[in-house]
Amino acid sequence: MLEAIALAFGLAMDATAMAAVRGLTGARREALLLPLLFGVFQAGMAGLGLAIGAWGGPYIAAWDHWIAAGLLFLIGGKFLVDAWRDLRDGDDGDEKAPPPASLLVLLGLALATSIDAGAAGITLPLLSVSPITALVLIGGVTLVCSYVG
């Protein structure tokens, strides 16, 4: 059981960091929605990894990091473009909260931070607890840690 808890906390850390960064913007809508999305996507991707891992483990392991890198690159690029537009539009540098991110951006963040959970899902049968228990732990720990972040 301890190894499942450790795995859940390890998988939750990237989502927690992203939730903490997004939490600095002060968007109240994201304070509840983002942890929920992160928890659901972490558990869902781990479940998908578990399901696909039986036949496609080597293929997933070969590409998961490239998919995650591509998604994070696209999201980071969007943030850079938005910042560039603010500068171009004559932003005077006053500290103001950015508008809340769109649902599409939040879904992209949830997907990007959960790619590693898909890869970890392949290993769930090796744990000493049932895969369902591990999935619930992964989703629950991610939700709680992201909310705290």
pLDDT at 43 over 80: yes
pTM: 0.67
**The pLDDT of residue 90:** 61
pLDDT at 47 over 80: yes
Report the candidate in 126, 144, 140 with the shortest Cα–Cα distance to residue 50.
126
Per-residue pLDDT tens over the stretch 63-74: 767 777 787 787
CB 134 within 8 A of CB 46: yes
- C-alpha distances (whole Å) from 50 to each of 63, 64, 123, 134 are 16, 14, 7, 11
Q: pLDDT band at residue 61, thresholds of 50, 70 and 90?
A: low
pLDDT at 76 over 70: yes
Both tokens assigned to 68: 């995650």
Per-residue pLDDT tens over the stretch 23-33: 777 667 777 88
Q: How far apart are CA 30 and CA 34, in angstroms?
A: 5
Per-residue pLDDT tens over the stretch 92-132: 555 555 566 778 888 888 888 888 888 788 778 777 788 88
Half-sphere exposure of 147 (CA within 13 A, CB side): 12
Both tokens assigned to 26: 């002060």
